[in-house]
Copies of this chain bind each other. A is one copy, B any other.
């Protein structure tokens, strides 16, 4: 996959019949499957593809995520995911995915994720190696001018 000018393009595909509910709309959990596949592609882009995981013994685990459902998506819709690196520390990576109908800038869903770098031999948390840390830092710096996206940092609650 190729990278968009600013954000990363991490998924392109079609909403398949297995992913829709009784209404013919993408079921909530399958929005997250698409975002999870987008995280896989991000891992490919930063060198944590299958070969990289086997060579390093390291991977990324999801600690926590937040989803906002903004529009319904029907079966057979072509969709893409754009990804922004929001931040990182020595072993954690904070990212934001947005789901779009192919060719549209409007997000139909948003997904914030906190990922942990792990040594799979434990599994236990492990600091990013120097090469990976350099790649992630470069991405964060490239994305920093974009600012915090609309649905990042949200807390769920009823209006009071």
Contact = CB atoms under 8 A, between A and B. Distances in A.
Interface of A: 22-23, 27-30, 32-33, 35-36, 50, 59, 61-69, 72, 87-89, 92, 94, 112-114, 120, 123, 152-159
Contacts of A94: 156-158
B158 A89 contact: yes
Contact of A65 (B28, B59, B159): B28
Q: Which of A59, A66, A114 has the most chain B CB within a 10 Å cutoff?
A: A66
Contacts of A35: 29
Copies in the complex: 2
Contact of A155 (B62, B65, B153): B153
A33 B29 contact: yes
Contacts of A153: 155-157
Contacts of A50: 22
A80 to B, nearest CB: 18
Contacts of A157: 94, 153
B67 A65 contact: yes
Given A29-B32, A32-B32, A36-B29, A65 B156 contact: yes
Contacts of A64: 66-69, 154, 156
Contacts of A154: 64, 155
8 contacts: A27-B33, A28-B62, A63-B69, A64-B68, A64-B69, A65-B67, A92-B158, A94-B156
Given A29-B30, A30-B29, A114 B156 contact: yes
A149 to B, nearest CB: 12
